[in-house]
């Protein structure tokens, strides 16, 4: 009876509490920042009728460029990805820090467009009739060092694209074909100013006869938000800082998108770099004064906005239900939840879902000393709040010695709790390592018969990203294993939590691991 009651409680927690890991909606007409306590880097936004859609960078993670939807800019859910895989062979292996950077989303001629660059593969565009439908992806220009593109269709029908360049403080303007599918010239430098170092991530808009380019400057951890304004699309552009950290604790508040509401309000979505949590998403009010936007609230009376931690919700005319991006997965659907991403282009035979469990195959990934840096089939998702616990039930069915499967915290340093096959034995161990470090730390627990290779694995993440792994054979009593682990961000992304099953041998394997569920709780 005691075990039954415990399991019932666990199910209730999985169904209810997990959704409240981080809730920005205060329920009294106000919200708190961040509105998404997760790594949605370089967000851009568009309003479509009474819905808002947000896209964000995905770098080497696949499927790429998540699409989130909201009815009030505060409550968000994941509804799609722009692409399943990048059509470049190198992305079949992790390309850390590469992949899709700073996408922009726009609507033109009854179609939705997402533009993005990768550092070494050039400019891409994806087009769809609706953000929640399939997108058609196309490479427009194969070029290096372009970044952060954003289109604008002018009132006269002409189309333009603004972009920045890798490791620079200069913005360029290109003429595009009217359908947005071709770049028609080499581009013209339209802004360069030493007082705005590392200017990037430009977002193009037109208002009251002026062209505006919203662009972050000063670098990710400690920069600010700049806006450029001109009466001619080619300039000259005036520059004005419109949001900075000021006296707040919100470092580097910048890089995002501005949206206008039918109520007349304007709002700005941006990120804050939060170390292992990645670049979390904030929402700021915008006021227009003398033809310039000011983001946040001018607390210092210096004419520059500062980010707010709490504010009244946007006036969208309706009260919207509380909803948060997906986390837990019971594996009852035929496909993985939208919260999951691989570390590279996914393989067709990496997993199956049936009978309410996920089966990960022991994919061949030849590695030395447990180095997971170049392993593609890591199934991961973002940290969703300052503190949380993840628990999963795993059954391990290996074939070859060295195969391992378990629960993982991944970044430039990583740690995991896993079953490992060692010759005729199965061992449980907590492992920690860093790329190219030859002697990863390992805490072996015990050897168990192969037929008993079933356990509950858990990781608890404290505020600050400090992780503790534990295990159980009955899902009641949990025993910590190994030392605490300080999670670390990856290359341009936050730390991630998830599952893996690999075969580090030359030979192929029919081994696998089954996971019954993956549950977040407070």
Beta-bridge partners for 123:
117, 141
> What are 315's two structure tokens?
């006036």
Task: Identify which has the larger pLDDT, 360 or 434.
Answer: 360
* 435 CB neighbour count, 10 Å cutoff: 12
Give the E-state strand segments of 30-100 in sequence order.
30-32, 44-48, 51-55, 64-70, 76-83
pLDDT at 31 over 80: yes
For residues 315-341, give the mean pLDDT: 96
- Which pLDDT value is given to residue 167? 80
Give 419's pLDDT tier (boundaries 50, 70, 90).
Answer: very high
Among the listed residues 25, 42, 98, 413, the single catalytic one is: 42
Among the listed residues 25, 200, 273, 329, the single catalytic one is: 200
Q: What is the pLDDT of residues 105-123, one digit of tens each?
A: 999 999 999 999 999 999 9
Question: Would residue 403 show up in a list of annotated catalytic residues for this protein?
Answer: no
Q: What is the pLDDT of residues 457-476, one digit of tens each?
A: 999 999 999 999 999 999 99
DSSP 8-state secondary structure symbol assigned to residue 45: E
Residue 490 CA from chain centroid, whole number: 12
Which residues 6+ apart lie within 8 Å of 388 measured at CB? 21, 460, 461, 520, 521, 522
- Which pLDDT value is given to residue 235? 96
**Residues above pLDDT 70, as percent of the chain:** 93
Give 82's pLDDT tier (boundaries 50, 70, 90).
Answer: very high
- Which pLDDT value is given to residue 11? 37
Q: Which DSSP string do the residues of 355-397 spell out, in sequence order?
A: TTEEEEE-EE---STT--TT-S--EEEE--SSSEEEEEEEEEE
pLDDT at 442 over 70: no
- Which pLDDT value is given to residue 440? 55
pTM, two decimals, is 0.94
Give 5's pLDDT tier (boundaries 50, 70, 90).
Answer: very low
- Which pLDDT value is given to residue 439? 53
**Residues above pLDDT 90, as percent of the chain:** 89
- Which pLDDT value is given to residue 383? 98
Which structural domains are found in the chain, ordered by start?
22-312 (2.115.10.20), 351-521 (2.60.120.200)
- Which pLDDT value is given to residue 285? 98
- Which pLDDT value is given to residue 1? 37
By C-alpha distance, which of 455, 459, 457 is closest to 474? 455
- Which pLDDT value is given to residue 7? 36
Q: What is the pLDDT of residues 256-302, one digit of tens each?
A: 999 999 999 999 999 999 999 999 999 999 999 999 999 999 998 99
- Which pLDDT value is given to residue 62? 98
Task: Identify which has the larger pLDDT, 2 or 171.
Answer: 171
- Which pLDDT value is given to residue 323? 96
- Which pLDDT value is given to residue 499? 98
CA triplet 59, 205, 47: central angle to 5 degrees?
A: 70
**DSSP-based three-state secondary structure for 66:** strand
Distance, in Å, from the CA atom of 389 to the CA atom of 93, rounded to the nearest integer, reads 29
Beta-bridge partners for 456:
393, 472
Q: Which strands form 292-295's sheet, in the order they lie side by side?
A: 254-260, 266-273, 279-289, 292-295
pLDDT at 10 over 60: no
Question: Would residue 330 show up in a list of annotated catalytic residues for this protein?
Answer: no
Give 2's pLDDT tier (boundaries 50, 70, 90).
Answer: very low
- Which pLDDT value is given to residue 50? 96
DSSP 8-state secondary structure symbol assigned to residue 452: G
Tell me what the pLDDT averaged over the chain comes to: 93
Distance, in Å, from the CA atom of 117 to the CA atom of 316, rounded to the nearest integer, reads 33
């Amino acid at each position: 009876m005691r075990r039954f009651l415990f399991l019932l409680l666990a199910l209730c927690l999985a169904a209810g509490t997990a959704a409240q890991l981080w809730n920005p909606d205060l329920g009294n007409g106000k919200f708190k920042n961040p509105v998404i306590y997760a790594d949605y880097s370089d967000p851009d936004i568009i309003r479509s009728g009474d819905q808002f859609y947000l896209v964000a960078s995905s770098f080497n993670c696949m499927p790429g460029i998540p699409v989130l939807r909201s009815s009030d800019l505060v409550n968000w859910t994941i509804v799609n990805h722009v692409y399943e895989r990048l059509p470049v062979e190198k992305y079949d292996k992790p390309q850390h820090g590469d992949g899709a950077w700073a996408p922009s989303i726009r609507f033109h001629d009854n179609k939705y467009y997402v533009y993005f660059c990768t550092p070494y593969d050039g400019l891409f565009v994806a087009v769809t009739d609706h953000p929640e439908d399939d997108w058609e992806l196309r490479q427009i220009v194969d070029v290096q060092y372009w970044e952060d593109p954003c289109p604008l269709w002018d009132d006269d029908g002409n189309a333009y694209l603004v972009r920045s360049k890798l490791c620079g403080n200069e913005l360029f303007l290109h003429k595009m074909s009217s359908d947005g599918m071709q770049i028609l010239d080499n581009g013209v430098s339209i802004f360069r100013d030493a007082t705005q170092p590392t200017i990037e991530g430009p977002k193009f808009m037109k208002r009251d006869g002026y062209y505006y380019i919203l662009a972050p400057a000063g670098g990710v951890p400690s920069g600010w938000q700049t806006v450029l304004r001109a009466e001619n699309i080619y300039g000259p552009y005036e520059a004005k800082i419109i949001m900075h950290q000021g006296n707040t604790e919100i470092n580097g508040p910048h890089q995002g998108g501005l949206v206008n509401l039918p109520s007349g309000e304007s709002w700005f979505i941006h990120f804050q770099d939060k170390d292992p949590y990645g670049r979390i998403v904030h929402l700021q009010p915008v006021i227009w004064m003398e033809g310039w936007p000011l983001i946040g609230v001018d607390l210092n009376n210096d004419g520059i906005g500062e980010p707010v931690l709490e504010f009244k919700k946007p006036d969208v005319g309706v009260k919207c239900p509380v909803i948060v991006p997906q986390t837990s997965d019971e594996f009852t659907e035929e496909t993985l939840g939208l919260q999951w991403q691989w570390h590279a282009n996914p393989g067709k035979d990496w997993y199956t879902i049936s009978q309410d469990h996920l089966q990960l195959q022991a994919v061949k990934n030849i590695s030395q000393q447990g180095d997971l840096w170049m392993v593609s089939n890591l199934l991961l998702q973002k940290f969703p709040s300052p503190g949380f616990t993840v628990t999963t039930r795993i059954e391990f069915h290996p074939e070859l010695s060295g195969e391992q499967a378990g629960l993982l915290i991944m970044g430039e340093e990583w740690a995991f709790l896993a079953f490992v096959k060692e010759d005729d034995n199965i061992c449980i161990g907590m492992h920690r390592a860093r790329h190219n470090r030859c002697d990863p730390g390992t805490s072996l627990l015990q050897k168990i018969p192969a037929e008993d290779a079933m356990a509950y694995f858990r990781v608890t993440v404290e505020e600050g990203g400090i992780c503790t792994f534990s295990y159980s054979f009955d899902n009641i009593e949990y025993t910590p294993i190994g030392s605490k682990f300080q999670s670390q961000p990856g290359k341009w992304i936050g730390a991630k939590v998830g599952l893996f099953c690999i075969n580090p041998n030359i030979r192929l394997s029919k081994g696998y691991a089954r996971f019954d569920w993956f549950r977040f709780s407070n």
